[in-house]
Amino acid sequence: MVTPTGNPIELEPIERATIDELRAVQLRRLRWSLRHAYDNVPHYREAFDEAGTHPDDCRELADLARFPFTTKAHLREHYPFGMFAVPRERIARLHASSGTTGQPTVVGYTSDDVRTWARLVARSIRAAGGRPGDRVHVAYGYGLFTGGLGAHYGAEELGCTVIPVSGGMTERQVMLIRDFEPDIIMVTPSYMLAIADEMRRQGIDPRATSLRVGIFGAEPWTEEMRGEIERELDIQAVDIYGLSEVIGPGVASECVETKDGPHVWEDHFYPEVVDPVTGAVLPDGEQGELVFTSLTKQAMPVVRYRTRDLTRLLPGTARPMRRMEKITGRSDDMIILRGVNLFPTQIEELILRTPALSAHFQCVLSRQGRMDALTVRVERRADTDRADAVAAGATLATLIKNSIGVSVGVDVIEPDGVERSMGKMRRIVDNRPKG
């Protein structure tokens, strides 16, 4: 098998396994993980007992549905270390969420966990077209956030040369891309476009750099955004998925030869999709909330962790593992406007169909009388004059009305008018009165 870049792909044995072989590995590891959680984490022992389940009840993979869910609230209730399954002295690494919407969620890793994580990110980079010796520019944030160090260790594990830039300092990002000539960049997709804007500001053609692959994650993004990035930078744009509660980046990743949704690395994480309201497990192919159970984590196993990410599970293509459809949004990011459910990714898709408008936008919620209102604040492209951009804004409002079924305002602003994020883009600005 050969990637679009012409490099042969050397797959691990599990990436060539039959479905039956993969399911046998999963069941063996799932039974171990349930027992490990029950024996070593008081929360899981209490939750399993309350639900009337026991690790020995798991005789086939479908039996996992009998076990209780884990939520972010559970992790916060046991802050900081109450969900750990090993003694503190075996913890080699701590990471945590930012805690911007509440108490941080803390995750721990043993040395074996760190090695497993590195191998999975290495697998993800290789699936994206990376090879030993490639230079990898890491522009995810370092520190307690899992993105930077996860990408860093994975690239080193693959045998790449790591350029640990971290987020921010956009002018310096451009300088280092120009001077160090990386082959691969790992960053959020929205910040990649901000870097491309800075390249043009400096008189650099974004399509003329050394970059050939971008591995993008940490926020939902659409096929239209992929097309925009690939046109702007002349690279392969590949999706990577992960979340700190499960391990970090590298839970799933796209394969560059197909680019048809991230393959879940099912030998380490068992995925389910459930109805967000009832919690019932849905058949593959139906959209719902993504749930993960870790199969090999030592320090902090998770059992049926509700991610709040909305997607579908699809058959594998480039690998036997199942694919996730691109995340359409989070159940907690859904905007309900006059009875209509919508997600920022739906707005992004329509914006990128409108040539005079750029991909930099925000959804601004306000209260007008007793009714909620939504204004899409979007930049015009630098090469578009103001009158054409305003006309494009009116076109966008019509597209949203016809496609999503709700009336919104559109405020077309000047280039650089939307705040740039060095990490996840702040897509929703809620100016409604609290309470």
- CA separation for the pair 149, 433 (Å, rounded): 39
Can you point out the beta strands (E) in 8-62? none
pLDDT in tens, the chain (435 residues): 555 555 566 899 999 999 999 999 999 999 999 999 999 999 999 999 999 999 999 999 999 999 999 999 999 999 999 999 999 999 999 999 765 445 789 999 999 999 999 999 999 999 999 999 999 999 999 989 899 999 999 999 999 999 999 988 999 999 999 999 999 999 999 899 999 999 999 999 999 999 999 999 988 888 999 999 999 999 999 999 999 999 999 999 999 999 999 999 999 999 999 998 899 999 999 999 999 999 999 999 999 999 999 999 999 999 999 999 988 777 767 787 866 778 888 898 899 989 999 989 999 999 887 678 899 999 999 999 999 999 999 999 999 999 888 889 999 999 989 887 666 677 888 888 875
Q: pTM for the complete prediction?
A: 0.84
Residue 57 pLDDT: 97
Q: 179 to each of 170, 182, 385, how far by Cα in Å?
A: 14, 9, 34
- CA separation for the pair 132, 40 (Å, rounded): 39
Residue 6 pLDDT: 55
* Length, in residues, of the chain: 435
Residue 433 pLDDT: 83
Peptide bond into 80 cis (omega under 30): yes
Nearest to 228 by CA among 260, 258, 192, 252: 192
- CA separation for the pair 398, 404 (Å, rounded): 10
Torsions phi, psi of 387, nearest 5? -65, -45
Q: What is the pLDDT of residues 295-334, one digit of tens each?
A: 999 999 999 999 999 999 999 999 999 999 988 777 767 7
Residue 336 pLDDT: 73
For 70, which DSSP code? Answer: B
